[in-house]
Amino acid sequence: MLPGILRDVIFDYTLRNVALGSALLGIVGGVLGTFAVLRRQGLLGDALAHAALPGICLAYMLANSKAPLVLMIGAAISGWIGTLLILRIVEDTRLSEDTALGVILTVFFGLGIVLLTYIQHSNDANQAGLDKYLFGQAATLVQEHVITMAAVGSIALALVAVFFKEFKLLSFDPEFAASIGFPVRGLNVLLTSSIVIAVVIGLQTVGVVLMAAMLIGPAAAARQWTNRLGVMLALSGFFGAASGVVGAMISVTGSRLPTGPLVVLCVTAIVIVSILFAPERGVVWDSLRRRSNRRAILEQGQQP
Amino acid sequence: MSAELTVLLTAIFAASACALVGTFLVVRRMAMMADAISHAILPGLVFAYFLANGPNLVAGVFGASLAGLATVALVEALQRTGRVKSDAAIGIVFPAMFALGTFAVSKWFSNVHLDADAILFGEIAFAPFDRLIIAGRDIGSQPLIVLAVLSLLNLVLVLLFYKEVKLATFDAGLAASLGFSPVLIHYGLMSAVSVTTVGAFAAVGAILVVALMIVPAATAYLLTDRLDLMIVYSVVCGVVSAIAGYYLAIELDVSISGMMAVTMGGLFAVAALFSPSYGIVARARRRAVQRERFSVDLLLLHLGHHPTGDESVAHLAAELDWPRARLQRAIRQAGAAGSVAIVGERVRLTPDGQDAVHAIAQRLSPS
């Protein structure tokens, strides 16, 4: 069965696109998610994904086109505006970050739904499928989507490659970065914009709700295996890509199984295994160590 | 009861029920937990409907509330391992639950009438047609009755446990030492959030439930420092947005739930900008006033150090290294307060000004 699937991944048009799309999302989400998780901004991805919706609708209304690039640009712009508003609310008011995230997430999403129903009620036959961006439908990915995702995703990855040193410093010690003269604010915007790109790529594949998992899951899993950022980035990208491909393959073999949820369940499985069994940090080793320590102490106590 | 009134009342009760628990979420910095719970109830709902052989109200509430509490427990268990931070723990658990729910619907229970769209958006316009039928008798609109009961329930809970929850929120240590278990209160609140979410989402959609919980409470938090007032403000704010959103949506022929969220966003923006105490404008103005007062103080101190107590404007500008406008504003204000006088081209400290210099020096000296 397996070689048959592998052949299909290479030669079957639909499966190839779905697998490639999910893998791309996994890599980009995993790499950018690493920074999001390290900076404790994991849920920003969730808020961003929701905030992208009004942009998708507006882009469609203005350009009257469903070309992936047009919708992605719209999504990116409104996701980006949402992020800036969140940062401003945290900076300028007394509200905590999670409240700011919640406010922007729900209000932008509400606006998106208003626009979506407006488009639908204007009896525009061409609009069908816009809501695919909400829940993701990997099965609808065509070659054009995959190519656009690859092009946009490589921009995000290139940014990480070029600014690796800066992003690393920003993630671990922003005060130090500022004190030695790094343009912290600019770098912050740059890094956040890259995360926006990762989210936008994922919308059509896994949808708004599950996007958070694609950013957080692979990175949280990778964190358990290493203390080095470079290794963590590579592992996280690998975990993301592997979940993407495996999820896509399972969804095609089983009938009527949606790809997005399967990909996310694969990510979750990797997270659970990593937290339990990763060398050094695994929870299981921890409790075994504790048990043997306790036994050793008890034995010592019994000796006179 | 007319359809319009039913929808409006449903919206109003949804807003009050949500705002009552949402206030505590916002002050406890757990807003995103509402988002997580609202998505994570899906698998509970699916399994409950499956066991009950159809969309059964009681089974649904039970299953979904269990799923909500399971989410809270899982997030905490994950955090306690110390391997992931709290935001990552939330971001791992709720998508997994949602994915499990979607997966279960399409794999095993495609006969269970449930789809993700309906859960996320809801459609409050259908509220009048969803009837609650008990023993063959039509009692009324089911969402309306459920939400009215929930509002009442939440109100009673808030009135009964206000003191305890307030204490546990602002001083968990003291609460624990007085014998009020913060864990118990936490799970009690989370149960209320779960049950409210379950009751409300069918009518208004999961996202609007989260909006109704967080946005009015966030708006109220910008307007007052008192918890009791904050609860009142957030209920009022939620109800006003519900009514205004409804009529705007009808006018524009768009989604009612979406328009309510947008209206709440508008109220929030107004509060964030113009709240007299915590608004961005008020803050900026306070900062500007402080900056000017500081300039005046600095000018007076500077003049006080001159043996003659006076100096030409040109020299002052050079010595203080200030832009012309800042210096002129400071001189004008100091002059208005009677601390300096302009004599010819020179700025001179008046006797009042000398006293002011002493007062400032006293205030700044560390003893």
Q: What is the DSSP string of A172-203?
A: H-HHHHHHTT--HHHHHHHHHHHHHHHHHHHH
Domain of A219, in residue numbers: 13-302
pLDDT band, very low/low/confident/very high, at B82 (cuts 50, 70, 90)? confident
Instruction: Check if B273 contacts A (Cβ < 8 Å).
Output: no
Instruction: Check if A257 contacts B (Cβ < 8 Å).
Output: yes
Q: What is the DSSP string of B171-226?
A: -HHHHHHTT--HHHHHHHHHHHHHHHHHHHHHHH-HHHHHHHHHHHHHHHHTT-S-
Residue with the bigger pLDDT between B279 and B343: it is B279
Give the pLDDT mean for B9-33.
Answer: 92
Instruction: Check if A237 contacts B (Cβ < 8 Å).
Output: no
pLDDT at A5: 64
Q: Do domains B3-278 and B281-364 have the same CATH topology?
A: no
Q: Which of A77, A79, A71, A76 is nearest to A130 (CA)?
A: A71
Cα–chain center distance at A65: 26
Name which CATH class applies to B281-364.
Answer: mainly alpha
Reported ipTM exceeds the 0.85 cut: yes
Q: Is the distance from CB of B265 to CB of A110 less than 8 angstroms?
A: yes
> 3-class DSSP state for residue A65?
coil
Task: Give me A218's structure tokens.
Answer: 């692979």
Task: State how far the Cα of A184 lies from the Cα of A191, in Å rounded to an integer.
Answer: 10
Domain total for chain A? 1
Task: State how far the Cα of A182 lies from the Cα of A179, in Å rounded to an integer.
Answer: 7
Please report whether residue A7 resides in a domain.
Answer: no
Residue B366 contacts by C-beta under 8 Å, 6 or more apart in sequence?
none
What's A287's domain CATH number?
Answer: 1.10.3470.10
CB atoms B85 and A37 under 8 Å: yes
pLDDT at A124: 63
Please report whether residue A124 resides in a domain.
Answer: yes
Please report whether residue A121 resides in a domain.
Answer: yes
pLDDT at B182: 84
Instruction: Characterize B80-118 residue by residue with b for buried, 16 or more Cβ atoms within 10 angstroms of its Cβ, and e for exposed.
Output: eeebbbbbbbbbbbbbbbbbbbbbbbbeeeeebebebee
pLDDT at A2 over 60: no
pLDDT band, very low/low/confident/very high, at B17 (cuts 50, 70, 90)? very high
Specify the residue for token string 């490589």.
Answer: A154
Task: State how far the Cα of A241 lies from the Cα of B141, in Å rounded to an integer.
Answer: 48
Give the pLDDT mean for A119-128.
Answer: 71
Residue with the bigger pLDDT between B366 and A114: it is A114
Q: Chain B residue with minimal CA distance to A103? A: B215
Tens-digit pLDDT profile for residues A234-274: 999 999 999 999 988 888 776 667 888 899 999 999 999 99
Give the pLDDT mean for A48-63.
Answer: 91
Task: State how far the Cα of B67 lies from the Cα of B61, in Å rounded to an integer.
Answer: 10
Instruction: Check if A85 contacts B (Cβ < 8 Å).
Output: no
* Cα of B113 to nearest chain A Cα, Å: 16
Give the pLDDT mean for B5-14.
Answer: 90
Instruction: Check if B75 contacts A (Cβ < 8 Å).
Output: no
CB-closest option in A95, A116, A210 to B218: A95
Please report whether residue A164 resides in a domain.
Answer: yes
Tens-digit pLDDT profile for residues B120-149: 556 777 777 777 777 777 777 888 888 999
Share of chain A above pLDDT 70, in %: 91
pLDDT at A161: 94
pLDDT at A303: 73
Tens-digit pLDDT profile for residues B148-203: 999 999 999 999 999 888 988 888 889 889 988 888 888 999 999 999 988 888 77
Q: Which of B40, B91, B84 is nearest to A274 (CA)?
A: B84
Mean pLDDT score across all residues of chain A: 87
Task: State how far the Cα of A32 lies from the Cα of B100, in Å rounded to an integer.
Answer: 25
Q: Taking the domains of chain B in order of start, what are their residue ranges?
A: 3-278, 281-364
Share of chain B above pLDDT 70, in %: 95
pLDDT at B260: 93
Give the pLDDT mean for B7-31.
Answer: 92
pLDDT band, very low/low/confident/very high, at A129 (cuts 50, 70, 90)? low
E strand or H helix that includes residue B141: strand B137-141
Tens-digit pLDDT profile for residues A87-103: 889 988 999 999 999 99
Tens-digit pLDDT profile for residues B213-238: 999 999 999 999 999 999 999 999 99
CB atoms A92 and B31 under 8 Å: no
Tens-digit pLDDT profile for residues B281-317: 999 999 999 999 999 988 888 888 887 777 888 888 8
Residue with the bigger pLDDT between A44 and A130: it is A44
User: For residue B259, is it left (φ>0), alpha (ψ between -120 and 50) or beta?
Assistant: alpha
Share of chain B above pLDDT 90, in %: 37
CATH superfamily, domain at B3-278: ABC transporter involved in vitamin B12 uptake, BtuC (1.10.3470.10)
Tens-digit pLDDT profile for residues B85-132: 888 999 999 999 999 988 888 777 666 555 555 555 567 777 777 777
